[in-house]
Amino acid sequence: MHAYRLHTDYTLKCQCCAISQRFVFTSKSDVVVCGYCKPHYGSTPAKLGQQQREHAALYLNRLTQAAKQRNADQVKHRAELDHLERIIAEKDALIRQLEVELGDVHVSIRKGQFNEAVMSWLIDERLTQAGKESDAALRRRESQERRIADGSTNQGASIVKLHPH
């Protein structure tokens, strides 16, 4: 017996393997035991032995899946980080180039070849823009690094969820 509504989606812990999953009850006499556990659910010594072996395999499989997912996430985060590093490097190069141009413009201005106000304004605009884009990329890199750091501190989480019984 259970107190859940029939024909309704619930996310519950299986009373046998303790893994949270989706349950839809069709009868008041249904047990809160997942489909995987039903064949070994019971109290005979043979069934208990089977239950332990199957749970060990189930938990190992869950852990392997969780580890694979975590590695895939980290690879993705690192790729994004590399991409941001390239943007920052490009913007840094552009800023250096513009600074050189700005120096050249000042030389030209001293020689009377340019309208100082117009040229300074143009280059300052480009410098400001490049600086803004570089700052934005740096901020994204920091949050990305935090996500990678968080990901590695959560490594034990999937193990904690699996209560043996």
- Residue ranges binding Zn ion (CB under 5 A): 14, 16-17, 34, 37
**Are 143 and 76 within 8 A, CB to CB?**
no
- Nearest approach, Cβ of residue 1 and Zn ion (Å): 18
Name the phi and psi angles at 11, rounded to 5: -105, 110
- Nearest approach, Cβ of residue 137 and Zn ion (Å): 46
- Nearest approach, Cβ of residue 54 and Zn ion (Å): 6
**Exposure of 31 by Cβ count < 10 A (0-12 exposed, 13-18 middle, 19+ buried)?**
middle
- Residue whose C-alpha is closest to residue 138's, from 71, 91, 105, 69: 91
The residues, ordered by sequence, that sit 6+ positions from 119 with a Cβ below 8 Å of its Cβ are: 105, 108, 109
| Residue number with CB closer to Zn ion (54 or 92) | 54
- Nearest approach, Cβ of residue 27 and Zn ion (Å): 18
Tokens matching residue 130: 């490049």
| Residue number with CB closer to Zn ion (16 or 88) | 16
**Are 11 and 21 within 8 A, CB to CB?**
yes
